[in-house]
Amino acid sequence: MATLLLAEQVFTPLDAIHNGAILIEGSTIVAVGDRTCIDLPANTKTIDFGNAVLAPGLIDLHVHGGAGHDVMEASDSSLSVIERHMARHGVTSYCPTTVTAPITKTLDSLNGLATNIESSSKHDATRARPLGIHLEGPFLSHAKRGVHPPSLLQPASIELFERMWQAATGHINLLTIAPEIEGAIDLISQATRRGIRVSLGHSDADLAQAQAGIATGARHATHTFNAMRALDHRQPGLLGPVLTDNSLTADIIVDGIHVDPVVVNLFVRAKGIAGAVLITDAISATGMPDGTYTLGDLVVQVREGRCESGGRLAGSVLTLDRAVRNTTQFANIPLLHAIRMASFNPARVLGLESRKGLLAPGADADITAFTNSGEVRQTIIGGLIT
């Protein structure tokens, strides 16, 4: 049976449609437009969301955990809790993200995450769906490692990456790497040939090293400003091309803690609506009270929204819907554009923009209903409405 969704506003999110409608058949969108212009099959069910905004489901490229669990636990029981928590905040798809850990533990986690990805089509409508694994570490700079354990960082070894690729049964789709470390250029080239999206981050690269990584195939940047060499007017480092090169997209943590609101405004102006991506970098403490939590094997103290391990920031407790609302305020942009940064743009980073992050015929029926102020009213995953 077909289902027609109606709302005062539909954000595709490349455009806004007043008094819009979305026609769904099964798990696929078959029509989007003005409600008076869509031909309806017989026995179509209609759901009217009134003055809501219907938009693509949000996509988070950088998630370490939530609701008391870490993705590196990699069990269905833990991942289901994380995925349900994200869905309540409008997220329909995400990339479970690793943190630097002993190699054996990383391989075990990659294998468990791959199993979850392969079974995700059978998950119920309350769980955000994993798109692929984001490998953050161990190929990072010691100087800009953040909280990643220094003793566990590795040179960029193709042999080690191959072991990880095999453990993940090919489900790695995003790799964060520092382009200046030993072996990085060869690994960026290898990963790019496999269709993996390479993101530059946790890096102390100078301008030439950053440009070499981009020339080899890197097309994205990880949590811009954080764990990067600071911008200098004579030695711009990685931030120079991140902010000025239109071939790069870049993500940012908009929680008001990792990056000052004024700098968020600067970032959005530099990257433009098409080049900016919102992420959470959320850890197990997300959605939980203040206290002690973990990020991989790291102990993290959480107080008033700030996550620290050993005096350093260690992820966040940000949710992606909150990041959207914060961005409208910090960058003074409309909700339409902020939603694009958390839906279509991350889908484009992964090369999935024809079926994810977009309300259009042929796209997956992953839809989030928002209030006009960006609060989540309902999340629809794979056309399943609960």
* Residues marked as catalytic: 281
Tokens of 350: 């992964």
- Residue among 337, 347, 359, 310 nearest 94 (CA): 347
Task: Write out the two tokens for 259.
Answer: 């990056």
C-alpha–C-alpha distance, residues 82 and 283, integer Å:
10
Tokens of 209: 């090293």
Residue in 92, 91, 116, 127 with CA at minimum distance from that of residue 171? 116
d(CA 74, CA 304): 28
The CA distance from 250 to 201, in Å, is 10
